[in-house]
C-alpha cells in the first residue's frame, strides 16, 4: 500500500495566539464571562500551552485519560496504584496517592500529588515554604523539568506528561470535560446555570454563539502551536483520526 501525502507543506511558524480578527465573537464571550463568578472559564494560551492545570488534574485523576506509560525524570517507570483523593481545599491537588516506582526493584510511595504546567511553578507558588506540601511524593507537570526545584520534599519524583500524551495520537485536550471532575457532570446544574437563569433567550443564544467561537479559537490556537513542530498533513491526519474515534 503506497503512502498518501495529504499536503506537501512544511512546518510554519504560525502566530500564537492567532489574531482575534479570525474569531470576533470570541472577544464577546470573554466580555460576557468577565467577572462572572459561576461560569467555567477556559484558560488562555500562555507559556506555549493551550490548556490549564485543571486539564492536567483531570488527566491525572482519570485512568481513562492518564497515559498508561509514565516515567520519572530519571527514567524509572511509574505505576499509579491510586491517583489520590481530589483535594477541594487548600494544599496539594491530590491527597494520599499511591505510586509504584521502578521495575524489578520497585519501591512504593504514598503521599500527596501536586500538578503544574511548568516544573518551576512549584517555586513560583512558594510550595516549598508551605508545610501543607511536606507530604508531596509526586510533582506532576506537563513540561519536563530541566532542573529540579530546590525545595521539593526529599524523595519526591517528577513526572512529566507531555511526551506520554503526545505518543497517543487519539488523545485531545478538547475531549477533557472539565465540568465532569471531580464529580460526574450529571451531579447537578452546570456552572453557568445560576448566571443565565434570568437571561432573555436572545441573550442566551448570543452567549452560546460567542462560546462556540471562543472554543474554536482555543482549538485553532492549539493547532497553530503544534504546527510549529509538525507538518500540516501530519496534524490533519492525527486530528481527523482522533475525531473519528480511532485509537493508537
Instruction: Give the residue extent of every domain in the chain.
Output: 10-45+189-248, 52-167
Of the given ranges (68-72, 133-137, 169-173), which has the lowest mean pLDDT?
169-173
Helix (H, G, I), strand (E, B) or coil at 159: strand
**Dist CA 83 CA 81 (whole Å):** 7
Q: Which residue is associated with the grid cell 517555586?
A: 123
- pLDDT-derived band at 142 (thresholds 50, 70, 90) equals very high
**Closest by alpha carbon to 66, among 191, 167, 215, 217?**
167
Out of 1-5, 70-74, 145-149, 222-226, give the one with best mean pLDDT: 70-74
Residue 114: pLDDT above 70? yes
The pLDDT score that the predictor gives to residue 186 is: 38
Q: Which residue is associated with the grid cell 508551605?
A: 130
Arithmetic mean of pLDDT over the chain: 79
Q: What is the pTM of this model?
A: 0.61
Cell numbers placing 213: 467561537
Residue 237: pLDDT above 70? yes
Of the given ranges (56-70, 98-112, 169-183), which has the lowest mean pLDDT?
169-183
Q: Estimate the crossing angle of helix 201-226 against helix 232-243, to 10 degrees.
A: 130
Query: pLDDT per residue over 37-82, tens digit each?
Result: 444 444 444 445 567 899 999 999 999 899 999 999 999 999 999 9
**Dist CA 78 CA 113 (whole Å):** 13
Rounded to the nearest 10°, the torsion over CA 62, 148, 112, 171 is: 0
The pLDDT score that the predictor gives to residue 14 is: 53
Contact 82, 60 (CB under 8 A): no
Out of 12-16, 112-116, 121-125, 231-235, give the one with best mean pLDDT: 112-116
Amino acid at each position: 500500500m503506497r503512502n498518501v501525502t495529504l499536503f506537501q507543506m512544511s512546518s510554519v511558524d504560525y502566530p500564537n495566539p492567532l489574531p482575534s480578527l479570525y474569531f470576533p465573537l470570541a472577544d464577546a464571550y470573554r466580555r460576557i464571562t468577565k467577572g462572572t463568578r459561576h461560569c467555567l472559564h477556559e484558560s488562555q494560551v500562555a507559556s506555549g500551552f493551550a490548556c490549564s492545570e485543571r486539564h492536567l488534574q483531570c488527566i491525572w485523576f482519570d485512568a481513562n485519560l492518564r497515559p498508561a506509560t509514565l516515567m520519572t525524570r530519571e527514567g524509572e517507570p511509574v505505576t499509579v496504584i491510586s491517583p489520590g483523593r481530589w483535594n477541594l481545599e487548600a494544599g496539594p491537588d491530590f491527597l494520599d496517592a499511591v505510586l509504584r516506582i521502578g521495575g524489578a526493584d520497585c519501591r512504593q510511595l504514598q503521599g500527596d500529588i501536586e500538578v503544574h504546567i511548568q516544573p518551576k511553578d512549584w517555586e513560583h507558588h512558594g510550595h516549598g515554604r508551605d508545610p501543607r506540601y511536606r507530604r508531596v511524593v509526586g510533582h506532576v507537570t506537563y513540561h519536563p523539568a530541566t532542573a529540579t526545584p530546590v525545595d521539593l520534599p526529599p524523595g519526591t519524583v517528577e513526572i512529566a506528561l507531555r511526551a506520554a500524551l503526545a505518543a497517543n495520537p487519539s488523545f485531545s485536550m478538547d475531549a477533557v470535560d472539565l465540568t465532569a471532575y471531580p464529580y460526574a457532570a450529571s451531579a447537578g446544574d452546570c456552572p453557568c446555570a445560576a448566571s443565565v437563569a434570568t437571561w432573555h433567550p436572545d441573550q442566551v443564544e448570543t452567549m452560546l454563539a460567542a462560546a462556540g467561537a471562543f472554543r474554536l479559537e482555543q482549538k485553532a490556537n492549539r493547532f497553530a502551536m503544534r504546527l510549529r513542530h509538525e507538518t500540516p498533513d501530519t496534524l490533519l491526519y492525527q486530528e481527523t483520526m482522533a475525531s473519528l474515534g480511532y485509537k493508537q
